[in-house]
Structure 1
Amino acid sequence: MSKFPLLGMTLIELQSVAKKLGMPSFAAKQIASWLYDKKVTSIDEMTNLSLKYRELLKEGYEVGAYTPVDEMRSVDGTVKYLYRVGESNFVESVYIPDDGRATLCVSSQVGCKMNCKFCMTGKQGYTANLTANQIINQIHSLPDRDKLTNVVLMGMGEPLDNLDEVLKALEIMTAPYGYAWSPKRITVSTIGLRKGLQRFIEESDCHLAISLHSPLSVQRSELMPAERAFSIIEIVELLKNYDFSKQRRLSFEYIVFKGLNDSQVYAKELLKLLRGLDCRINLIRFHAIPGVNLEGTDMETMTRFRDYLTSHGLFTTIRASRGEDIFAACGMLSTAKQGENNKS
C-alpha cells in the first residue's frame, strides 16, 4: 500500500497529520522544518521527533522526495532534469545559471490542454495535474538547489489550469514554515485562463507573466486556441483593475516568429493594446520543434523591435536563448522518454 508524501504539505495539513497520530501540536512545525529547511529525504532523519512518533509516521507517510531519472547538460551551463511522476509519466524542469543568478523553470502538469502551436508539451496532450508534492520535489531534489535564486512556473503545463496545487506549492515556497522566499523570487507564467487569473492575482503576491505572442486576436487564436475562450483584450481589461506598480511585476512574454509577428506593425499594435498598464515585454527567440512550420527571427530584427517599443515607453528586454543544444524548450525530453516507454 502506497504511503502519503509529506513533502508538499502545508503547515495546516501537517498539523492535521500530527493531530491524527496523537503527536504534540508543535510536531507539525518540527516536521516542516525537516522537510523545507533541512531538506531530509527520510523520516528517520527527523531526530527531534521521538522514535515512537517517527515509527507512527512511517506507517502511513513518507517524505516523498525522488531524484531526477535523467538529465541533459548544455555547453552554456543549462541543465534539463527529467522527473518520473507516477508509474509511467515524466515532467521536466530546467536549471539556468547566469552569473550571480540561477533560475529553475518548473512544470505544473503532465502534458497540457492548451495545444499552443509553438509548444512541444501541447503536442503531448494532457495527462494529469501535478500534485504540490510533485511541484515542490522539482526544487527539493534539484542537485543545484543551494544555488537557486529564482523559480518560474513556465515549464510543462498551464499553471492556472492546476491552480489549487500551484497555490499550495507557492505557499510552501513563501511561508515562514517553508522556504521563506520573497514572492519577488517567483514568477507564474500563464496564457491567461479566465477561471484562474483573477484568483491568482488576489491570492498570491508572486510575479505574473502573460503569454501574449500576438496583439491581434485572430492571429493569437491560430497560435493559441485558448484565445477563443478568453481573448487577450479581455485579459488586459481584467489586469487594469489591479495595481502592478509596487509589490509584483507584470510582464508579457512575446515569442518573435520570423515574418509572422516581428514587424513594426505588431509593435504599434502592442503599444495600443497595453496602453495604461504598468508592465514590461520579454522578447523570446523561438526554439524550433518537430513538425511546426515556424521560425525564429534574427537578432537584428528583435533588437529593432525592442528599441521601437522601449523608445515609445514600453520597457522591453530580449531574453537570452539558453540550452538550445539540449532542446531546452518545454516538452522535448519528456516526449522522447515517453516514446521510449511506449516502444518497450
Structure 2
Amino acid sequence: MEKERLFGKTLDELKAVAAQVGLPKFAAKQMADWLYKKDIRSIDEMTNLSVKGREALKEYYEFGLTEPTKVQASIDGTKKYLFPTDHAKFIETAMIPDDDRKTVCVSSQVGCKMGCLFCMTGKQGFQGHLTAGEIVNQIRSIEENGEVSNIVYMGMGEPFDNLDNVLKSIEILTDDWGYAMSPKRITVSTIGIIPGMKKFLETSNAHLAVSLHSPFDEERKQLMPIQTAYPVQKVLDEIKSWEFGRQRRVSFEYIMFGGLNDTPAHAKELARILNGIKCRINLIRFHPIPDTPLKSSNEETLQSFKDLLNSKGILTTIRASRGQDIYAACGLLSTKALVKKEEEPDY
C-alpha cells in the first residue's frame, strides 16, 4: 500500500490523521510542530508522540520530504533547484539573494496549459498539479531553509489553475501552527484567471501580481491566449473592486518585447487603463527562449518606458535580471532534464 505524506497536511487534516491512528486530538498540534517548525525528516524523530503512536502513523504515512536532484549556482548568488515530482517529471525553484533578503520563487504546477508565447514552461504542456506539500517542500528542502524572507509564486505553472493547493500551501506558510510567516512576505502571480483571483483575494492577505504584457486586447491575445477567456479590462474591473495599499499590494508584471509592446503609445495606454488602481509596474527584460520570434527591448527603450510611466504617476521599476548563466528563465532547466530523461534507454 502506498503511504500518504504527512508533510503538506493542514492542522485540520492532521486532526483527522490523529483520530485515524488512535492518537489524542492534541497530537495534531504536536505533529504540525514537528513538520513545520523543527528540522527533522522522519516520523521516528517525533519523540513527544508515544512509540505506539509513531508505529501506527508509519503504517499509513511517511514524513514526505523530497530532496532536489540538481542545484545550479549563478555568479550573482542566485540558485536554481531541480525537484522531481510525483508525476515522474521535474519542477524548478529559484532562490534569489538580495542584501539581507532571500526570496524563493516556487512552482505550482508541472508544466502549464496557458500557452503564453514567451514562456518555456508552456512549451512543456500541462503535466499535473503540485500538491500543497510539493509546493511547501520547495522551501523546506533547499539549503537556505530557515533563512527565507520572501516567497513568490512565480515559478512554473499558473497558481490560480491549481487554486486549492496554492491556498492550502499559503495556509501552512502563514498560520501560527505552520511556518507563521506574514502574508505580507508572500506574492502570488497570475495571468488573470478571474474566479481564482477573486477567491484568493477573499481568503488570503498575500500580495497579488498580475501578468499584463500589453494594454491592447488583440496584441495581448497573441502573447497570452487567456485574454480570450478573461480580457484584461475585466481583470482590472475585478481588481478595482478591492482595496489595496500597505496591507496588501497589487503589482503588474510587464515583459518588454522589442518593437512589440515597448512604444510610448503602450505606456500611455497602460497609464489610462490602470488609472484609479494603487499599484506598481515591474518592467522585465525578456531573455530569449528557443523557438520564439520575440526579442528584448534595448536598455534605452526600457528606461524611457519607465520614465514615461513614472511621469504619469505610476510607480514603475525595472526588475534586475538574475541568474542568466544558470537557465534562470522558468522552464529551461526542467525542460533540459525532461528531454534528457526521455532520451535515456528504458532497460
Q: TM-score, normalised by structure 2?
A: 0.98
8 Å CA contact retained: 1:279, 1:315: yes
**Residues 100-133 of structure 1 deviation map (CA, whole Å, 9 limit, x = unaligned):** 1111000000000101000000000001000011
* Partner AA of 1:68 in structure 2: P
Corresponding position of 1:317: 317
Please say if 1:168 is aligned against 2:148: no
Distance 1:172 1:276 in 2: 34
Distance 1:21 1:205 in 2: 34
Distance 1:245 1:282 in 2: 17
Corresponding position of 2:191: 191
Corresponding position of 2:45: 45
Corresponding position of 2:207: 207
Task: Provide the secondary structure at the position in 2 that maps to 1:17.
Answer: helix
Distance 2:317 2:289 in 1: 24
Distance 1:192 1:312 in 2: 24
Q: Please give the residue correspondences for 1:151-300 in structure 2 after superposition, counting only pairs within 5 Å.
A: 151-300=151-300
Superposition deviation, residue 315 in structure 1:
0.5
Superposition deviation, residue 39 in structure 1:
3.0
The alignment's C-alpha RMSD in Å is 0.8
* Partner AA of 2:241 in structure 1: N
Superposition deviation, residue 98 in structure 1:
1.0
* Partner AA of 1:111 in structure 2: G
**Residues 196-239 of structure 1 deviation map (CA, whole Å, 9 limit, x = unaligned):** 11111111100000000000010000000000000101000111
Corresponding position of 2:26: 26
Where do 5+ consecutive residues of structure 1 fail to align?
none
**Residues 139-171 of structure 1 deviation map (CA, whole Å, 9 limit, x = unaligned):** 110111122110000000000000000000000
Distance 1:276 1:268 in 2: 14
Please say if 1:343 is aligned against 2:326: no
Distance 1:254 1:182 in 2: 26
Distance 2:167 2:25 in 1: 24
Superposition deviation, residue 295 in structure 1:
1.1
8 Å CA contact retained: 2:254, 2:282: yes
Distance 2:254 2:241 in 1: 22
Distance 1:118 1:4 in 2: 37
User: How many residues in Structure 1 have an aligned counterpart in Structure 2?
Assistant: 344
8 Å CA contact retained: 1:108, 1:130: yes
Superposition deviation, residue 305 in structure 1:
0.9
* Partner AA of 1:201 in structure 2: L
Distance 1:192 1:84 in 2: 28
Task: Provide the secondary structure at the position in 1 that maps to 2:146.
Answer: helix
Q: Which runs of 4+ in 1 moved over 2 A?
A: none
Superposition deviation, residue 2 in structure 1:
1.7
8 Å CA contact retained: 1:74, 1:323: yes
Where do 5+ consecutive residues of structure 2 fail to align?
none
Superposition deviation, residue 33 in structure 1:
0.3
* Partner AA of 2:67 in structure 1: T
* Partner AA of 1:226 in structure 2: I
Corresponding position of 2:307: 307
Corresponding position of 1:80: 80
* Partner AA of 1:158 in structure 2: E
8 Å CA contact retained: 2:154, 2:189: yes
Q: TM-score, normalised by structure 1?
A: 0.99
Task: Provide the secondary structure at the position in 2 that maps to 1:287.
Answer: coil
Superposition deviation, residue 87 in structure 1:
5.2
Superposition deviation, residue 263 in structure 1:
1.3
> Structure 1 pair 162/63, CA: closer, same or farther in 2 (3 Å)?
same
Superposition deviation, residue 303 in structure 1:
1.2
8 Å CA contact retained: 2:194, 2:238: no
